[in-house]
Amino acid sequence: MSETEQTLTCAFHPKRETQLRCNRCNKPICIQCATHTPTGYRCPDCIRSQQKVFITTKWFDHLIAAFITAVIALFGSRLGAYFGFYNILIAIGAGYLVVLATKKAIKNRRSPLLKFVMSGAALLTSLVPPIYYLYETYWIEGYGLLGGLVAIIWRLAYALIITFYIYHQLRN
């Protein structure tokens, strides 16, 4: 009889013998404790810590995040109306503020959904003022569409930059 074939007992049920080990932390686990994942069996501890990394948000965090993003993105978009080319800098500054303020407000909790909620809110709110401007000048005041588009080109750049900036910052 070889000594290497020692019997393992489940780390969570000391009386149950088992052959399985968690493929992450190597703890012996019984079949009842094991969760089958695409990479192999995992113990309850590893499953729990894995979920913690991915989803820690409370349900209202997405609302708070969307609200903060909308307020800052809208303010930046309005401000950008007077600054042409500098919309690029305003977009990065506003994006930075959005990420900072949101992380603080929701205490660094995270979820895979958050980046979509926030970049979506940023895109919508930063597009509304320039599109409304276009609507006003084109439909109401009768200026050419091309002239209107040229007038809002930097504000469209603002919308794209702040959206991608936020998405990029939150992608992990």
Residue 78 contacts Zn ion per CB under 5 A: no
Residue 34 contacts Zn ion per CB under 5 A: no
Q: Closer to Zn ion at the Cβ: 30 or 121?
A: 30
Whole-angstrom Cα distance, residue 43 to residue 46? 5
Assess contact for 117 and 98: CB atoms under 8 A.
no
Whole-number minimum distance, CB 25 to Zn ion, in Å? Answer: 3
Assess contact for 76 and 65: CB atoms under 8 A.
no
Residues that bind Zn ion (rule: CB under 5 A) add up to a total of 10
Assess contact for 24 and 42: CB atoms under 8 A.
yes
From the list 22, 70, 117, 162, which residue makes contact with Zn ion (rule: CB under 5 A)? 22
Please give the distance of CA 150 from its chain centroid, rounded to a whole number: 32
Q: Closer to Zn ion at the Cβ: 13 or 78?
A: 13
Q: Closer to Zn ion at the Cβ: 30 or 123?
A: 30
Assess contact for 51 and 129: CB atoms under 8 A.
no
Residue 159 contacts Zn ion per CB under 5 A: no
Residue 25 contacts Zn ion per CB under 5 A: yes
From the list 28, 46, 155, 165, which residue makes contact with Zn ion (rule: CB under 5 A)? 46
Residue 43 contacts Zn ion per CB under 5 A: yes
Query: Which parts of the chain are beta strand (E)?
Result: 8-9, 17-18, 35-37, 40-42
Return the structure tokens found at 11: 């780390």
Residue 66 contacts Zn ion per CB under 5 A: no
Whole-number minimum distance, CB 6 to Zn ion, in Å? Answer: 18
Closest CA to 94 of 79, 112, 111, 109: 79
Whole-angstrom Cα distance, residue 101 to residue 69? 9
Q: Closer to Zn ion at the Cβ: 13 or 103?
A: 13
From the list 2, 21, 28, 30, which residue makes contact with Zn ion (rule: CB under 5 A)? 30
Interface ranges with Zn ion (CB under 5 A): 10, 12-13, 22, 24-25, 30, 33, 43, 46
